[in-house]
Structure 1
């Protein structure tokens, strides 16, 4: 166990963070917090597996998603080592921004507030009808 600030410093200093979920174990729906921790520090993510974790990394342009096998993971790791921005499409700042916009406490608060406002509007419309 290390303090969060120290862990963040180590993650920020890495070229990439490796995150994996073994497919077919009932967790393909999982969204590993390691994805958000790494991207929130600006570090590229190499995700080994399939499902939601891979989709987040790909759609968020947070790094590389690879099949859950040694060759695919090695190829993804080499690609990030050769070009941490993956062709200039992913910068540390863009990854941090994605987390702020999509996975932060503020982002969750915005979604919750929008849901409450929508429910209130529906209830008000129903009561006046």
Structure 2
């Protein structure tokens, strides 16, 4: 049942990502990745709020938590997951792991994306 909840949340999150980023690009243009930035900021804000609310304050089942946190926000933006995991490391005072996560994620993901672009262009 949890897998179905994640899939349903993911479908909604993907649509929200499209609608929000398209709307922002429509308003501000594409000279800067405002749409992606908006999605990442909104997703990170929602992840922080819902993480605390659903895990510490509300009495909801694991299916709803999975649908919202993993499915909806996971499809809306994986940056939200990155953000909450990094903040959890900081709250645990594991500063080295937190900074490594930030540096490796940004640098390695940019490098991986560049590699994917390079490989794709060689086809």
Q: TM-score normalised to the size of structure 2?
A: 0.34
| Larger radius of gyration between Structure 1 and Structure 2 | 1
Greater helix percent: which structure? 2
- Give the structure, 1 or 2, with the largest relative contact order (CA under 8 Å, sep 6 or more): 2
TM-score (norm 1): 0.32
Greater fraction strand: 1
